[in-house]
Structure 1
Amino acid sequence: MRTSALFILMLFTYDSYAQSYFGFKSGLTLSKQQIKHSFADVEYTEHMHFSAFYEGFRSKYLSAIGEIAYQRKGFAYDVETTTEEHPEGTGDFLDVGNRYSYLSVTLLGKIRYSIGDFVPYFCAGPRVDFKIGERSTPLLLYYNKWAKKRLYGYSLGTGLELPKLFSKIVLIEFMVSPDISDVYVEPFDVKNRSFQASVGIMF
């Protein structure tokens, strides 16, 4: 019902001047896993992300976006190493956090409003993450074989288009991308939580 209402609204606002664009974005992803019923003090990891997108049905206020992105998500978790001589701990720490690489496919609805030389916008929509890689080290908190191949979630955020800064449209964007699916098979209740800060260009 909500999808139909958005589509109808886009039709009413679509005019002969509507345009479409291709674009690229890159930036920093902060990610960690929310582990329910656990006292593990997991930390955020930082990774670069890259994406290509197509923005169509672009009318005065609304547009639709299809995006494919490379994302790396997971968490950091440091545990202190021990030896027979130092069973209480050596003072050295080992990161046993899991990290996974994903190909993310996102469909977004975008609302924007021009204010002088700036065009602030809000976007939101569903997302599917396909696992294409994993961190491989001898010690990890979870076995990689437990990780699901496909995850579902959503992304929402805000940004700013700068159409007059250069000959192309430059954008600055901040997104939050929580998962709906658990990262691992039952009985683990673990979900990815990530934030993206991006700079992009539209052609």
Structure 2
Amino acid sequence: MDSGLKPEKLNLDARSPVAIEMLKYWLRCFEAYLNSSETEVGGPRKLSLLHARVGHRLSSVIEKATTYETAVKILQKRFVKPINEIHGRHLLSTCRQRPGETLDEYLERLTALARNCDHKEVAAEVHMNLHICDAFVSGIRSTYIRQWLLEDGAKDLQGTEVYLRGLASTLADDSGTSSTPEAREEP
């Protein structure tokens, strides 16, 4: 195997905002390292090499894996979390250039955020509804409602409307008035 391709030990924290990208990159490097061998690396040796290239914490996470493929799936399950579409689009639409950040760095960050959005061909009306939903979530004044929509909320404009009608009804029942979510906005 080509020692120049040997990746450094993988030590990741699942809470790190760059953990997903780092894991994907590290796995590509590790695969390149394995493929650089003159003889095919397979089975238990592949798993042993993986254990040797991850830190002690991650090694304990994958210790019950009996195959390399299973160990990789365990790592991916730990680090690659599904992203709420609305939250991903919100992060993209509200992303601003940071002080000291070059235009190239800012564009790179936008591109990484865009990868978290579900891009597929849509009709003009669907595209319009997605923009309305994004603008609505970004412009809403209630922190509680925005947080719910970004974390667990509906995936489209119609689902968001249904949720908000239910919330308005619940708030009206709780207060005995015809309160709407807007009336409960936070400063």
Q: TM-score, normalised by structure 1?
A: 0.19
Larger relative strand fraction:
1
Larger relative helix fraction:
2
Q: TM-score, normalised by structure 2?
A: 0.20
Greater RCO (CA < 8 Å, at least 6 residues apart): 1
